[in-house]
Amino acid sequence: MDSLQIVVLAIVQGLTEFLPISSSAHLILVPQMLGWPDQGLVFDVAAHFGSLLAVVFYFRHEVKRMLKSWLGSIAGAEPNADSLLAWWVIVGTLPAIVVGYLFQEAIELQLRSPWVIASASIAFGLLLWFADSRAVRSRDEYQLRLKDVLIIGSLQVLALIPGTSRAGITITGGLFLGLTRKAEKQAAGNRNSRA
């Protein structure tokens, strides 16, 4: 990989990560369209780590508040909404970590094709549209229950398929669970902070 490819892919990652489209898919498709070799999963993870740093910086006040409350809950302080939300972020992250670890090789070798990306992009775009058209939008992120968190966390496993947006699938799950627009954005932001 040369410097030009690194710079172009970093820009692609930065432009696509925060939209309900798959940045992973774009990191695969751009090199294919330009005739570059596939940079592999390790580079993709590094690019996503850069996005994580940007999200943590942007949400630094919320992250600090949640971290402080979470540490307090471990030390025996009375749990509050922020400590519970921090626990939910941890619990919601576990399914994707476990599945990603167990199936890393299969994901890297079998799911990085344009056909998989196109199929996933279309299917999950339609699912997001359907969820949005049926949304109730009556709850916020502080009203999530363990069941809700496990549903959203399990849906995020699908984001291991290139073409499936992590933000998009999180928003889709939130819409099906009745979250408000503000809560959906917060959930997607929390998802990025742990991606």
Packing angle, helices 40-58 and 23-34, rounded to 10: 140
Of the candidates 6, 13, 24, 5, the residue with the CA atom closest to the CA atom of residue 161: 24
Contacts of 181 (CB under 8 A, 6+ apart): 137
Tokens linked to 6: 């690194």
- What's the CA dihedral at 49, 54, 59, 64 to 10 degrees? 60
3-class DSSP state for residue 139? strand
User: Alpha helices, DSSP H only, in 111-194?
Assistant: 114-134, 146-157, 166-176, 181-194
Ordered per-residue pLDDT tens for the chain, 195 residues: 899 999 999 999 999 988 889 998 999 999 999 999 989 888 988 999 999 999 999 999 999 999 999 999 999 999 999 999 999 999 999 999 999 999 988 887 888 889 999 999 999 999 999 999 999 999 998 999 999 999 999 999 999 999 999 999 999 999 999 998 776 666 666 655 554
User: Rounded to an integer, what distance in angstroms lies between the CA atom of residue 158 and that of residue 143?
Assistant: 24
Q: Where are the domains of the chain?
A: 3-194
Short-list 195, 24, 9, 52, CA closest to 120: 24
Q: How many CB atoms lie within 10 A of CB 1?
A: 13
Query: Rounded to the nearest 5°, which phi and psi values hold at 179?
Result: -75, 150
Query: Hey, how many other C-beta atoms are within 10 angstroms of the C-beta on 81?
Result: 13
pLDDT of residue 186: 64
Cα Rg of the chain (Å, integer): 17
Q: What is the pLDDT of residue 184?
A: 61
CA distances to 21, 71, 92, 102, 168 from 162, rounded to whole Å, are: 10, 35, 20, 17, 12
In whole angstroms, what separates CA 52 from the centre of its chain? Answer: 10
